[in-house]
Structure 1
Amino acid sequence: MSQPEPLPDALRRSFDAVLLDMDGTLLDSIAIVERSWLRWCEEYGVDPRRLVGSHGVTAENLIAGLLPEEVRVEAFARIREIESGDVEGLAVLPGALELLRALDAAGVPTAIVTSSTDDLAEARLTATRLPRPGVVVTASDVVRGKPFPDPWLLGAERLGVEPADCLVVEDAVAGLRAARAAGCGGLVAVTTTTPPDELEPVADLVTCDLTTLRVDAVDGACRVLGSDA
């Protein structure tokens, strides 16, 4: 039997808090995202191929690179309307509920840090009944959302911990780069939406999903034990 890969130095420690991305990490919303943006692209005459590689980037930042300034506010409001009204097929990803419950039971400060706006995050959390931690940071809470570090910095601030003492779990390259820029201490990537070879250069550990991520949460702190995949 092969021995498990040793943990990188960045993960050989305890973390005082955990920051979790939402879409693609805790929730399976990829079908909703794809059909919503395809509909939006048709309405605004945007080639859908221009969206390739944008996973993890806020809608506002994405639209800024697609449309002239005079229509961006209207277009941003429209994608929020389309996405918030669609929860068909939305589901909690395997392992998400168990991880949130374990962190809560151990008293580990936990935050959801998402590229979704506040109305969209509320719609998806309500529809799935996912237990929400005490802190939820959305794109509506910051001037610059992912891929900028601001959301992760705000998540750590609201939990009362330093970014360096936070473990981040994320599925998108843009989100991981933002967490790295924020100075977060450990970065775990799940391959639910992004191929491993794209995640490996920017994450400390890559695992299939939250069922294969092994963590130990006790007495208000969390340690990564490794990955089963």
Structure 2
Amino acid sequence: MVGLGRLTDEVFEAVLFDMDGTLIDSTPAVLRAWTTWMEEFGLSRDQLGRHHGRPSAEVVRALLPPDQHVTATARINSLELDDVHDIVVLPGAVDALADLRDARSAIATSCNGPLAQARIAAAGLVPPSVLITVDDVARGKPAPDPFLEAARRLGVDPQRCLVVEDAPKGLEAAHAAGCFTLAVVTTTARTDLDADAVVGDLSEVAFVPVEDGIRVRLRA
């Protein structure tokens, strides 16, 4: 277990969580859906890999010509929504959200609204009251919009928020929003995660509400 560096000295106004790969493990379902999609549209897994953490519509636009965007986006949305099997809560996620039940927190995900709700329900996760999906913003990650919108709805300063992410694109979005960052090594190698601190998963940290905000600590 590693330290949390400068995060231990900060008091945050809110904690903003990514969802897939941070709070829940949807990897098998994601791989099944995208594998089917790639086969149907004649693409390789290597072409898809560098887009982890981006909204599906943006991935489609990056990989396919304009005349296929509408059809291909509808197809991946359908495949993902139809497959929410074996989605589970990641270690520490339940405790993290419970720690923050009486504090400000949100989920900011690259999923669309129906998919986010379906995966949350499939995992049995109790989400915070604020859920930002790609439907709520003009631009998805790696643009800062999801985290800025989450902060706006919570009534807090983005520069006083802690973002918890598993993907480089999500961390890029958090940096662009001016947030502090905590990364979990659930889908990406530690060396590829540019964050203020990196832990294995959420079971290694505790979020502690205090009078003027939230502190983050390593669990004993």
TM-score band, normalised by the shorter chain? over 0.9
**Equivalent runs, 1:13-162 vs 2, <5 Å:** 13-104=10-101, 107-162=102-157
Residue from 185, 189, 213 that aligns with 2:183: 189
**C-alpha separation between the residues in 2 aligned to 1:5 and 1:57?**
28
**C-alpha separation between the residues in 1 aligned to 2:54 and 2:41?**
19
What percent identity do the matched residue pairs reach? 45
**C-alpha separation between the residues in 1 aligned to 2:84 and 2:143?**
27
Contact 1:108 1:220 in 2 (8 A): no
- Could you tell me how far 1:166 is from its partner in structure 2? 0.6
**C-alpha separation between the residues in 1 aligned to 2:8 and 2:159?**
11
Residue from 210, 218, 226 that aligns with 2:218: 226
1:214 aligns with 2:206: yes
TM-score by length of 1: 0.91
SS state of the match for residue 56, structure 1? coil
Amino acid at match of 1:113: A
* Structure 1 vs Structure 2 CA RMSD: 1.6
Contact 1:11 1:204 in 2 (8 A): no
Structure 2 unmatched runs, 5+: none
SS state of the match for residue 15, structure 1? coil
TM-score by length of 2: 0.95
- Could you tell me how far 1:182 is from its partner in structure 2? 0.6
- Could you tell me how far 1:44 is from its partner in structure 2? 1.1
**C-alpha separation between the residues in 2 aligned to 1:40 and 1:76?**
10
- Could you tell me how far 1:227 is from its partner in structure 2? 6.6
SS state of the match for residue 223, structure 1? strand
SS state of the match for residue 18, structure 1? strand
Any idea what the Cα deviations from partners look like across 1:158-183, whole Å, max 9, x if unmatched?
10101011111000011001100011
Any idea what the Cα deviations from partners look like across 1:30-88, whole Å, max 9, x if unmatched?
11111110100111111222012221111111111110111111111111110011111
**C-alpha separation between the residues in 1 aligned to 2:12 and 2:203?**
20
Residue from 192, 199, 214 that aligns with 1:198: 192
SS state of the match for residue 203, structure 2? coil
- Residues 207, 5 of structure 1: CA spacing in aligned structure 2 closer, same or farther, 3 A cutoff? closer
The total of aligned residue pairs comes to 220
